[in-house]
Structure 1
Amino acid sequence: LSSAKEDTTHEVKLLIGQAQIAMIFADVTLVSRLIEGSYPDYVQIIPEELKTTAIVSKDRFVTSIKAASLFASTGINAVTFSIHADQQVVTLSSSSVQAGEHVAHVDGTVHGGDNDIVLNYKYILEGIQHMDGDIEFQINSNESPSVLRSKNDDSYIYIVMPIRQ
Structure 2
Amino acid sequence: MKFSINQSELQNALSVVLKGVATRSTLPILSGVYLDAQKDSLTLQTTDLELSIQYSVAALVEEEGKTVVPGKLFSEIIKNLPDAAVHVETEEETALITCDTSSFSIKTLNAEDFPGFPHVDVQQEMSIPFSQFSSMVKRVARVVSKDESRAILTGVLITFEDTYLKMVATDSYRLAITEVQLPDTPAEEFQAVIAGSFLQEIATLPRSEEDIKIALAENQIVITYQDTVFINRRIEGNFPNYKQLLPDSYATRVSMDKERLISAVKRTSLLGQSSSPVKFDIDTASQTVLLSAAAQDIGSAQETLSCAGEGENVEIAFNCAYVIDGLSSIATDNVFLEVQSSLKPGIFRADQDENFLYLVMPVRIS
TM-score of the two chains, using structure 1 as the length reference: 0.79
Which residue does the alignment assign to 1:107?
A: 306
Greater relative contact order (Cα 8 A, min sep 6): structure 1 or 2?
1
Q: Is the 8 Å Cα contact of residues 53 and 111 (structure 1) preserved in structure 2?
A: yes
Post-superposition offset of 1:114: 0.3
* Structure 1 residues not aligned, in runs of 5+: 1-9, 27-31
1:29-68 correspondence runs (5 A): 34-68=234-268
State the identity %.
25
Structure 2: distance between partners of 1:82 and 1:101: 15
Q: How many residue pairs end up in the alignment? A: 150
Q: Is the 8 Å Cα contact of residues 274 and 321 (structure 2) preserved in structure 1?
A: no
1:8-157 correspondence runs (5 A): 12-13=16-17, 15=20, 16=51, 22=198, 23=201, 34-72=234-272, 74=273, 76-131=275-330, 132-157=332-357
Structure 1: distance between partners of 2:233 and 2:318: 29
Post-superposition offset of 1:85: 0.6
Structure 1: distance between partners of 2:267 and 2:298: 12
SS in 2 for 1:67: helix
Task: Classify 1:153/1:130 alpha carbon distance in 2 versus 1 (closer, same or farther; 3 Å).
Answer: farther
TM-score of the two chains, using structure 2 as the length reference: 0.37
Q: Deviations over 1:14-59 (max 9, x none)?
A: 6435996754879xxxxx9753211111111011110001100001
Please provide the CA RMSD for this pair. Answer: 2.7
Task: Classify 1:54/1:86 alpha carbon distance in 2 versus 1 (closer, same or farther; 3 Å).
Answer: same
Q: Deviations over 1:51-92 (max 9, x none)?
A: 0011000011001000011123x4851111111011101110
Post-superposition offset of 1:154: 4.1
Structure 2: distance between partners of 1:33 and 1:85: 49
Post-superposition offset of 1:163: 1.0
Counterpart check, 1:163 vs 2:363: yes
Which residue does the alignment assign to 2:140?
A: none
Structure 2: distance between partners of 1:47 and 1:99: 37
| Bigger fraction of residues in helix | 2
Task: Classify 1:109/1:37 alpha carbon distance in 2 versus 1 (closer, same or farther; 3 Å).
Answer: same
Q: Is the 8 Å Cα contact of residues 71 and 101 (structure 1) preserved in structure 2?
A: yes
Structure 2: distance between partners of 1:122 and 1:76: 6
Task: Classify 1:129/1:97 alpha carbon distance in 2 versus 1 (closer, same or farther; 3 Å).
Answer: same
Q: Is the 8 Å Cα contact of residues 139 and 146 (structure 1) preserved in structure 2?
A: yes
Task: Classify 1:33/1:50 alpha carbon distance in 2 versus 1 (closer, same or farther; 3 Å).
Answer: farther
Which residue does the alignment assign to 2:169?
A: none
Structure 2: distance between partners of 1:76 and 1:123: 8
* Structure 2 residues not aligned, in runs of 5+: 1-11, 21-50, 53-117, 119-193, 206-231
Greater gyration radius:
2
SS in 2 for 1:12: helix
Q: Is the 8 Å Cα contact of residues 85 and 112 (structure 1) preserved in structure 2?
A: yes
